[in-house]
Amino acid sequence: MKNDEKYLADTLESSEEHRLAIQLLTEIQNLSIENDLWGAKLTVLNEMVDHHVKEEEGDYFKEVRASFDADKRTKLLEQFIQIRDQLLEEYSNQKGSSKRVA
Ligand SMILES: [Fe+2]
């Protein structure tokens, strides 16, 4: 597999894992803790995030260090922080509108 095709496949997989994590977080947030599914969903989320973090920190971070110099990595970090802060603010604004279901 060419590198570009591998990067695309890895990016799509990672993006899908992010989407599923957000979906599970939303479902957990909307469930009562007494619902039997609450713990099951939390366990699956924990396993999925653990797998995802190991891939990112084990594979992707090494490739980023090898591919980008310190200045470029600093710029990427600044972009990440800016986007993260925007998303946290959006999430914070939406949090009040969520509803709990049994
Ligand atoms: Fe990630």
pLDDT in tens, the chain (102 residues): 568 888 899 889 999 999 999 999 999 999 999 999 999 999 999 999 999 999 988 888 888 889 999 999 999 999 999 999 999 999 889 876 655 444
Q: Ligand 1 mean position to 28 CA, how many Å? A: 19
The answer to whether the pTM exceeds 0.85 is no
Q: How far is the CA of 100 from the centre of ligand 1 (A)?
A: 27
Say how many Å lie between the first and final Cα of the chain, rounded.
Answer: 47
Using CA atoms, how far residue 34 sits from 28, 30, 96, in Å, is 11, 12, 21
Residue that is written with structure tokens 């619902």 in the block? 35
Domain ranges of the chain: 3-95
For residue 49, how far is its CA from the centre of ligand 1 (angstroms)? 8
Instruction: Compute, in angstroms, the gap from residue 34 CA to the centroid of ligand 1.
Output: 30
C-beta separation of 45 from 36 below 8 A = no
**Token pair of 49 as six digits:** 């995030």
